[in-house]
Amino acid sequence: MIRTLTMKFRNHEVKFDTPKVMGILNVTPDSFSDGGQFSELDQAIRQAEEMVKAGATFIDVGGESTRPGACVVSLNEELDRVIPVIEKITNYLDVVVSIDTSKASVMSQAVQSGASMINDVRALRNEGALSAAILAAKDFNVPSCLMHMQGEPQSMQNKPQYHGVVEEVCDFFEQRIEECAKAGLERRYMLIDPGFGFGKTLDHNYQLLKHLHHFNRFNMPVLVGMSRKSMIGNLLKRDINQRLAGNIATATIAATAGVEIIRVHDVAETMDAIKVVNKLRSIE
């Protein structure tokens, strides 16, 4: 049975009666897939418009690459990249804008500029991040997504190890959700992301994909991001721009498992896959 959750993102109320698509908008020069393509403001806004037209409910704006070995970006540089984009998108497009960052100051200023969601690969563990998320929730109804990552982006793919990856990721969420709740971030303002590709081997990723339904136990929206990642490229022996079939396959499996948000580069194609899944769900 597929559950139906509802969550408020600032002034947007999203009913997850079907999986929603989050379009990736990297305003960075060095992201693993589209680095430099949307680093200019006009280019970024055009890409956001195209993704919204194609059916994206969310646009995830990121100003610092989290690919393995990526360089650390200064606070001011990250702000200069993301704030103008967030301001313009929220002024002109009817879409939930998410800020992809681990820095507390970027979270706060992005929310002040109109962002409706915080998406943190470090699960609000950096200094000040949890406090920033609590204020964003209380003052603006802005939820935060907690992602699992083993290690740090610079070294996370150096031989990650688990005794049981699904159980360990679930254990992480049990602990982190409780920590955030005790600090003052209500559960209704949390989403979770198992962190495909973040400190996981090829087999770890596919174990998580096969058992995505285990994360329904937390009764909060589940976000997944597998688009163009090495879990697809290494399995299929495809370069980054040749992974569309793998992207659609993994997104379809996630949609079938009932996840709430699928984070992708190829919005239109993913929307088609979700429509097929929805049609199957509607048939007795």
Catalytic residue among 10, 122, 176, 229: 229
**How far is Cα 178 from Cα 194, in angstroms, rounded to an integer?**
17
| Residue of 159, 263, 279, 281 with catalytic role | 263
Residue 263 a catalytic site member: yes
> How many whole angstroms separate alpha carbon 59 and alpha carbon 50?
11
The DSSP bridge pattern shows strands 20-26 and 12-15 to be unpaired
SS3 track for the chain = CCCCCEEEECCEEEECCCCEEEEEEECCCCCCCCCCCCCCHHHHHHHHHHHHHHCCCEEEEECCCCCCCCCCCCHHHHHHHHHHHHHHHHHHCCCEEEEECCCHHHHHHHHHCCCCEEEECCCCCCCCHHHHHHHHHHHHCCCEEEECCCCCCCCCCCCCCCCCHHHHHHHHHHHHHHHHHHHCCCHHHEEEECCCCCCCCHHHHHHHHHCHHHHHHHCCCEEEECCCCHHHHHHHCCCHHHCHHHHHHHHHHHHHHCCCEEEECCHHHHHHHHHHHHHHHHCC
* C-beta separation of 230 from 197 below 8 A: yes
Q: Is 229 a catalytic residue?
A: yes
Which residues are catalytically annotated? Answer: 229, 263
